[in-house]
Amino acid sequence: MPSDATEPVRVRRALLSVHATDGLAKFARGLLEHGVELVATKGTRTHLDDHGIPAKSVEEIGGVTASLGGRVKTLHPAVIGPILAPRTPAGLEELEREGWLPIDLVAVNFYPFVAVNRRHGDIAERIEAIDVGGVTLARAAAKNFAWVTVVSDPGEYDGVLQELAGTGGSTARPLRQRLAEAAFIRCAAYDTEIAVGLAPEVTKFPELLLLRRTRQEMRYGENPHQAAADFHLLAPDSAPISATGLALRKGAPLSYTNLIDLDTAVRIVAEFPTPTAAVVKHATPCGVASGATISEAVTQAIATDPVARYGCAIAVNRPVPPDLPPILHGVFVDTLAAPEFEDAAMPLLERRPKLKLVVVVPPDLTIPRWELRSTLGHLLLQETDQRELAPGEFRAVTSRTASPPEGCALDFAWRVARHARSNCIVLAQGSSTVGIGSGQPTRVKAVELAVEVAGPRAKGSVLASDAFFPFADGIDVAGAAGVAAIIQPGGSMRDAEIIAAAERWKMAMYFTGWRIFRH
């Protein structure tokens, strides 16, 4: 056996002590095939017995006996010593003097504190669900990864068996170190879950947050010279509180900016119960439409701004049918996201080698969600804006009121506006955008940009503004372009001037009383 821990270490004896038994029988059989002696704690050994797999009980090594109702069994020198002992001549000599044999692999996972806490069990039940021995075994084995292999998740079983098969029953240092790092992370997360779960009361904003890295590969950050990684934001009970599941169906790995664009696009289509498409570029919408079919919605959405859509991300809230790919002919789409891609549509989509296809189901907006941003070394957590516009908040402030079709268009434009960057102006005809101006330092500039994109389509359109108009200049630009109705929060010191300007242009104007900034 190597004493410098740089060569592969032969696995002769393994301790198995798990709560989750997924894949355990297959793993144990694989260890036996490589001549590994199995030692198991009571519950784990029972599972192995049920599958006809021989294993010694932990009580058979070094006189270990369970005590205090089973609370103390692995916290014994005869168990911890053979795990922690250095495989140096002095360490091996001491093990022999005590009559202990080295343990070369530890497979362990923890009591389900998270599951019990999620069921809101009483304090006694939750305390009993706190694992002490399992965490200690994992931490001890991880600390001694120079000689010991720690397997702290069933998902790691196959990789370990592959390593044993390729090395004649040994594990190499890179694998042991990687598994040790994973074990330390799981121990830290488990301790954090307990600390938060036992808090005397649940607060709206958890005192501690967990970040768990996903398996989503990130090519780079906003620019190729910036590294990036994808994490889920977790609640105290380890449930994702902001993550929407996605899967790459086709194309290169998603980039940092791909995910940011998809975030905006998917949030938008989640707003609408009817077939809807959102075209996004640089994290802001440049075309949104609803229609009788998803293909009709895409047709209208990509027509909003033929220039800005170049290299865009598109999200839809219905499966992609076979008649949609021809609609995108001649449109450079980087990423297309949908709940599903019909089989008949795939041959046409496969012809576009650079197109990324992402399966993602728009989130349920009735479920509270959170978003996280960083600034100046701080992490900022806020509720996602999911507030609905109530009928009583649709307050007319001009003598002219909107027609029913204009009222529907105003509601549509308002829903789109809260997903564009401030300052934001959205022009819409029916259930389609015709011009969007966003990310501008002045509101009048945002109006000018939206009107420029819309061109002649601005006449008869409606306008949504994410915040109040500080001056009448924006109203004048919209009025000169033929905008028929406006919805905005109101609340400016010059509201009287703004309303008077709308009256001059014979526009209908509505105040909501609340803003929808998105910085």
Rounded CA-CA distance 488/396 in Å is: 11
User: Which of 282, 329, 354, 419 is labelled catalytic?
Assistant: 282
Residue 314 carries which side chain, given as an amino acid letter? I
Name the residue among 516, 203, 264 with its Cα closest to residue 386.
Answer: 516
What is the distance between the alpha carbons of residues 437 and 450, in angstroms, rounded to a whole number?
Answer: 4
Asked if residues 433 and 409 have their Cβ atoms less than 8 Å apart, the reply is no
* Residue 380 parent element (H or E): strand 378-383
Query: What does the alpha-carbon distance between residue 216 and residue 343 come to, in Å, rounded to a whole number?
Result: 24
For residues 92, 96, 100, 103, the Cα torsion angle rounded to the nearest 10 degrees is 20
Tokens of 61: 């090594």
Bridge partners for 320 per DSSP = 341
Contact indicator for 485, 386 with CB cutoff of 8 Å: no
| Active-site hit among 56, 143, 250, 445 | 143
* Beta-sheet pairing, 312-316 with 284-290: unpaired
42 is known as an active-site residue: no
Do the bridges between strand 13-17 and strand 105-108 make them parallel or antiparallel, or are there none, so unpaired? parallel
Mark residue 80 as left, alpha or beta (left: phi above 0; alpha: psi -120 to 50; beta: remaining).
alpha
Residue indicated by tokens 């890179």: 174
Query: Is 282 known to be catalytic?
Result: yes
SS (H, E, C) 211-257: EEECCCCCCCCCCCCCCCCCEEEECCCCCECCCCCEEEEECCCCCHH
Which DSSP string do the residues of 266-290 spell out, in sequence order? Answer: HHHHHT-SS-EEEEEETTEEEEEEE
Separate counts of helices (H) and strands (E) for the chain: 16, 23
Q: Whole-angstrom Cα distance, residue 391 to residue 97?
A: 82
Cα(45)–Cα(101) distance, rounded to whole angstroms?
Answer: 19
- The residues that are catalytic are 143, 282
